[in-house]
A and B are shown apart, each in its own frame.
Chain A
């Protein structure tokens, strides 16, 4: 249609994607650089991967981060779904604006503020009631859940507002009490959104640095904390190796998601064909009387 525009579009896309991906590609490429200087090429080598796998500090930090992320994501999905449900389905009530604000603010709040404030909370609570005792995994999880549930809320809330709520009314009309309606009808339908909410919360938790630094205790170093202390001093090739592994995992995940999505699309197309054929059948049988 408008030829000039498609050149512009292509140009924008190429430049944009180059900008986004060159850093990532550089990380991967340099992880195979034999030289310790990382960016001065000295030949191909996989020794940094070996070093990485023997680095106890990094390995235990990674394990801790994964544990925390899994717990965080699960809690965040529960809390985020509840608040998404409240905001999307429950009508106006006193305090609704506050709830809406409390679930939106963490999305934009600078982490230095949330980190500091949560630490001070934990310190005060420890003074008053003795819990949480010291900073560690518990405090990290609580902090992570608090800000990741905001993201889950947004995902769930938007999914629920897209959903036809006459489905829920129909279920009630047929005799199901509200709680049953939620578990039998609403939940199965929004399940994919919950899944992506879980993944989102997991990723945010695994990657979090600032908030975690404030609320972590002496014994708990998460992966981002270890990485940060290393890279403050300069580049380090084992970090490149780590980065490559992360990129590989994410790439596999995204490609899998893409394949699943296209399969679903194909199935939907098939079903639509079936429906069309069924429609034809019905018209034929009507004509026959």
Chain B
């Protein structure tokens, strides 16, 4: 069928392809180029607040000014290094926690009776359809000094003074895991559900105990789901802004917050751009890895 499309000349297939293509190139790809350009610029009190890169010195001569100062600034000022590493650490720990919590849930649903499976998945996905912001807000009400958790623990007699959880890393981990859990569960579930259960029966028949069978068969086969889930959590978590702002302390160094502050508070667009470029450089490899995985999963458009 694809050969037929090609034979029709570019008009049919080409037209269909070019519409989303052009949109994405213009509104997704080009912006990155612009960010790169502005990261080489200098902040100015102007509208927009940065200096142009090209100067017409005279009628025929153009001078290009590249300000590497922004990137030097990133390297020299400890703030940025710390923020990057901190964000990566937080994202890594959150991903692991998400995996530890999400895997049993996904596994339990996948092994339930087919009729209940759909209902359970519906219930997992339901919170996702309610606002992300509101759900993070809910945790404020639970974790703060006179919040739900402290009230219950004091009422139970487990503690006598309220715990300080808000504005700690614990709160941030809870927030990230809570918000990103569906992104971990969904690919895991998709993978586990498709697994051929007769493999486990065969293993059992050959003398394998249930835990061994899980370790040797289920776990390896579920790796694609695990990897997909981890990437879906890790990559956006590195640049997460809302959760550290609402649940973390003001002094907590996360790169998402840094970028936001540079942009909105300091009005330093060039530095914000440099921060973004540096973050992008780091994330480009996992992003490409994720894209390659998705492509092979979806079949890459090649039949048979």
**A residues lining the B interface (CB < 8 Å):** 2, 4-5, 8-10, 12-13, 16-17, 19-24, 26-27, 30, 37-40, 79-80, 82-83, 85-93, 95-97, 99-114, 116-118, 120-121, 123-124, 127, 142-143, 145-146, 149, 153-154, 157-158, 161, 165, 168-169, 172, 178-179, 203, 206-207, 209-210, 213-214, 224, 227-228, 231-232, 234-235, 239-240, 242-243, 246-247, 250-251, 253-254, 257-258, 261
Residue B80 at the A interface, CB < 8 A?
Answer: no
Q: Give the interface segment out of B55-63, B68-76, B105-113.
A: B105-113
Whether B242 pairs with A209 at a CB distance below 8 angstroms is yes
B residues contacting the other copy or chain, number (CB 8 A): 101
Top 4 nearest A-B pairs (CB, nearest first) are: A110-B239, A117-B31, A91-B2, A23-B138
Judge whether A243 and B138 touch: CB under 8 Å. yes
- Interface flags, B149-181, vs A, CB<8A=1, else 0: 001000000000000000000000000001001
Q: Which residue of B lies closest to A86 (CB)?
A: B17
- Choose among A26, A99, A165, A243 the residue that contacts B24 (Cβ–Cβ < 8 A): A99
Q: Is the CB of A99 within 8 A of B21?
A: yes
SS of B interface (majority): helix
* B245 within 8 Å of A (CB atoms): yes
Q: Mark B18-52, 1 if CB is under 8 A from A, else 0.
A: 01110111011111101100100000000010000
Asked if residues B137 and A86 are in contact (CB atoms below 8 Å), the reply is no
Task: Please determine whether A30 and B141 come into contact, CB atoms closer than 8 angstroms.
Answer: yes
Answer yes or no: B291 CB below 8 A from chain A CBs: yes
Would you call B301 and A88 a contact (CB within 8 A)?
yes
Docked complex Cα distance between A241 and B129 (Å): 17
Complex: how many Å from CA A24 to CA B123?
Answer: 13
* Chain B: minimal CB distance from A180 (Å): 12
Chain B interface residues (CB < 8 Å from chain A): 1-6, 8, 12-13, 16-17, 19-21, 23-25, 27-32, 34-35, 38, 48, 101, 104-105, 107-109, 111-112, 118-120, 122-127, 129-135, 137-142, 144, 146-148, 151, 178, 181, 210, 231-232, 235-236, 238-242, 245-246, 256, 259-260, 263-264, 269, 272-273, 276, 279-280, 283, 286-288, 290-291, 294-295, 298-303
Residue of A nearest to B112 (CB): A9
Assembled-state Cα–Cα distance A89/B101 (Å): 37
A106 and B28 within 8 A (CB)? yes
Residues in A with CB closer than 8 Å to B111 are: 5, 9
B162 CB → nearest A CB, Å: 11
Chain B residue numbers with a CB within 8 Å of A80 are 20
Query: 5 A–B contact pairs at CB < 8 A?
Result: A2-B210, A91-B3, A92-B301, A169-B1, A207-B132
Cα A228 to Cα B107 in complex, Å, equals 35
Of B101, B134, B139, the contact of A243 (CB 8 Å cutoff): B134
Bound Cα distance A127, B295 (Å): 38
The dominant DSSP class at the A interface is: helix
Nearest-CB residue, chain A, relative to B299: A161
A108 and B1 CA atoms in complex are apart in Å by 32
Rounded to whole Å, the gap between the CB of B267 and the closest CB of chain A is 13
A243 in contact with B131 (CB, 8 Å): yes
A87 touches B239 (CB 8 A): no
Residue picked from B1, B240, B256, most chain A C-beta under 10 Å:
B1
Partner of A96, one of B129, B232, B294, B301: B301
* Nearest CB on B from A202, distance (A): 10
Are A13 and B287 in contact, CB atoms less than 8 angstroms apart?
Answer: no
Q: Which residues of A sit under 8 angstroms from B298, Cβ to Cβ? A: 87-88, 157-158, 161
Question: A95 to chain B: closest CB distance in Å?
Answer: 7
